[in-house]
Amino acid sequence: MTFEETGLKPEILKAIAEMGFVNPTPIQEVTISHLITSTQDLVALAQTGTGKTAAFGLPVINNISMQTKEVQSLILCPTRELCLQITRDLDNFSKFIPGFKTISVYGGADITKQIRELKAGGQIVVGTPGRVHDLIRRKILNISAIRWLILDEADEMLTMGFKEELDAILSTTPAEKQTLLFSATMPLGIAEIKSKYLNNALELSVGKRNAGAENVEHHYYVVHAKDKYATLKRIADNYPDCYAIVFCRTRMETREVAEQFMADGYNADALHGDLSQAQRDQVMARFRSKQLQMLIATDVAARGLDVTELSHVINYSMPDDPEVYIHRSGRTGRAGKSGISVTIVHMKETGRLKQIEKLSRKKFERKMVPGGTEICEKQLFHLIERVQNVEINEAQIGNYLPQILEKFEDMSKSDIVKHFVSLEFNQLLDYYKNARDLNIKAELPRDQFASRNERGGDRGGDRLKFTKLFLNAGKKQNLNASGLIGMINEYSGRRNIEIGKIDIQRKFSFFEIDSNFERDLIKALNNVVIEGHVINIGRVESTAGQEASNEGGGSFRSEGRSGGGGYRGGGNREGRREGGFNDRGDRPRRRRN
C-alpha cells in the first residue's frame, strides 16, 4: 500500500513525498484510511517510534476545514519535547495548505507568547495537560468546537501524574467529537479513560501489547556493582560507532556518570532535571545532530526525545518498572533498522531481569564484558576502516603532499603503518594492558533469576515482620512507588530496608516496611518539607485506612505533628516532573508479594 491509496489530499501527498515517505507504516496503514472516512472513536496500541504522529496527523489535517480559525483539534501529549516534535511534523505535513496553523502550548515557557498565538487563531493545538488545563481555566483556550481530541502516549501521561488534568480537560470537551487514543500499553488507567470518555471505540493493535520491538536485540552483562562504570566504558569502547542513550535512575547518578564519562574523554553529555530549559535544548540539539555520541539521561528527562537512529540503548541502572524497560528499548530499532538494548546487571538485580524478560516476551542474551585485547582489536580495525573511507580533499592537502612524502621517504610502508597505529593506539593499549576480567565467572542458572521469596523465603527461611505505615502524600503530590522507595532510601540513609506492599492513593499512601526500621524511618521523615509539602508519617493502627476513600479514613499513629498540609510546590507541572516525590535515590530491596 502507498500513501496515494489512502485517499489523502494532493497537497498533503506532495508534502509527505517531499519528506521521502512512500509507504505507510503498519499503524499508519490501518488508521489513516479509517480516520479519513469514519467518525468512530479509536484506540490504537503501538510501540513508540512506529509513526503514530502521521497516523493521526495526516487524516486530521486532511479533514480540517480552512473556512474557520477556530480550534478544531486538540492533541494532548506528556512532554514539551514531544509537543514540539508533533508540532514540527504537523507543520511539515500541512506546508502546502495556505493558512494552516498548528499552535503548541507547554509548561516551562512564556505563557504570554502562547496566549498571543491562541488569540491569533489556529486549526490545531498541541499541548501538555498542565498548560492546556491552565489555559482553559483562564478562558484563553476555547475547545468547545473541537472535532478531534487526540491523546498521544496516553500511558505516559498517566505515569507522569496527569490523570486529574486529563479528567478535567476531557469533561469540558463537546460530546460530538471523535476521540483518538494512542498508547504503547494498556494499563488500567487507560482502560478507565476508554470506558468513560470514548464511545463504541474501534481498537486497533499493531504488535503485541507490552511487547518489545521485534528488531531489537537484548543483551545483558553481569558484574559486581562496583564495576558498573568500568563496564559502561568497555561497552562504549567495544562499539566505536554507537549512538546511544545511557539511562540512569536519578539525577545525581546521571550527573556523576556523565561528568566522569566526559572527563575520561568520551563524547557525551547529561540530560536531567537540574538543567535550565535553554541548557536542555542545547544538549538535545547537539545529540540530535550527532555532535554528541552518547546521552546520559534519566527516564523523565528523556521523555519526548525523538531520535530515530539510535544504535544502542544502555541501561546503566535497571528500571524499577518492567514497562519502563520496554519504553527504553523501543527507542532503538526504529524505522526498520536494528538496534541493541544493553543492560548492566549486578547480582542482586537478576530477579528483576526475569520479570522484564517475561513482560517483554523477549529472550535476553548474556554477553561477556569485553577484555582489553578484544577492545583494542575492535578499535584498531574501526580506525583502519575510517582511514580507508575518508574523503580526500586534494585541493587542501596537495600543496603539502611533497613535503610529507619527503618526510617519509626513508620509511617503508610497514614502518609508516606502525608509526601511524602507535600514534593513535599507544594510550589505549597502555590503558587496557593487563586489564582485569570484570565478568562474574559463574554462569547464572535460570532459577537464579527468581527472587529470594520465590526460592522459599528470606533470611534463612524466617518471615520478616512488616509494619504498615501511612504517609500524607499521594498521586496529587506526584508521588509514585519509585519515588516513595527513593524517599525511604534518602531519609533513612540505608539501601537494605525490605519494603512490602505499596498503595498510592490520591492524597495519601500506605506501605509496608520491615518492622526493625519503623521507628527510625518515622523519626527521619516526619515533618520533613519536600517541595513545600510537610510530610506526616505514622503507623496504621487498623486496616480501615487502607480501604478508605481518597478523602481519608482509618486511624494512624504519628510520633510527630499530625495533619497534612496541602501541596504547595512552585512552578508548573512540567517543571516539577523530575525530583522531589518521584525521583529519589537508589531503590532498596523490595519484598515480592
Residue 404 cell numbers, joined? 610529507
Q: Indicate whether this model's pTM tops 0.85.
A: no
The yes-or-no verdict on residue 580 having pLDDT over 70 is no
Cα–Cα–Cα angle for 416, 420, 422, rounded to 5 degrees: 115
Residue among 385, 376, 413 at smallest CA distance from 237? 376
The yes-or-no verdict on residue 449 having pLDDT over 90 is no
pLDDT band at 336; cut points 50, 70, 90: low
What residues have CB less than 8 Å from 41, skipping those under 6 apart?
178, 179, 180, 181, 198, 199, 200, 201, 202
Residue 181 cell numbers, joined? 487514543
The yes-or-no verdict on residue 542 having pLDDT over 60 is no
Q: What's the pLDDT at 496?
A: 63
Instruction: Give me the mean pLDDT over the 124-149 stretch.
Output: 95
Q: What's the pLDDT at 272?
A: 81
Q: What's the pLDDT at 49?
A: 63
Give the burial string for 101-110 (b: 16+ CB within 10 Å, else e).
bbbbbbbbbe
Over residues 179-235, the pLDDT tens digits come to 999 887 666 667 778 888 888 888 887 654 444 456 889 999 999 888 999 999 999
Residue ranges and CATH numbers for the domains of the chain are 3-205 (3.40.50.300), 216-371 (3.40.50.300), 377-388+414-434 (no CATH), 466-582 (3.30.70.330)
| 234 vs 571, higher pLDDT | 234
Q: What's the pLDDT at 413?
A: 86
Among 114-128, 186-200, 268-282, the range of highest mean pLDDT: 114-128
Over residues 475-515, the pLDDT tens digits come to 888 787 767 887 887 777 665 677 878 888 888 888 888 88
The yes-or-no verdict on residue 265 having pLDDT over 80 is yes
Q: What's the pLDDT at 12?
A: 94
One-letter-per-residue 3-state SS of 209-277: CCCCCCCEEEEEEECCHHHHHHHHHHHHHHCCCCCEEEEECCHHHHHHHHHHHHHCCCCEEEECCCCCH
Over residues 58-113, the pLDDT tens digits come to 999 999 999 887 899 999 998 888 898 899 999 999 999 999 999 999 987 889 99
Cα–Cα–Cα angle for 135, 137, 140, rounded to 5 degrees: 45
CB 440 within 8 A of CB 490: no
Specify the length of the chain in residues.
Answer: 593
Integer Cα distance of 77 and 113 in angstroms: 20
Average pLDDT over all residues of the chain: 79
CB 477 within 8 A of CB 565: no
Among 16-25, 172-181, 206-215, 584-593, the range of highest mean pLDDT: 172-181
Q: What's the pLDDT at 132?
A: 96
Question: What are φ and ψ of residue 221, in 5° steps?
Answer: -120, 135
Neighbours of 461 (CB within 10 A): 8
| 210 vs 385, higher pLDDT | 385
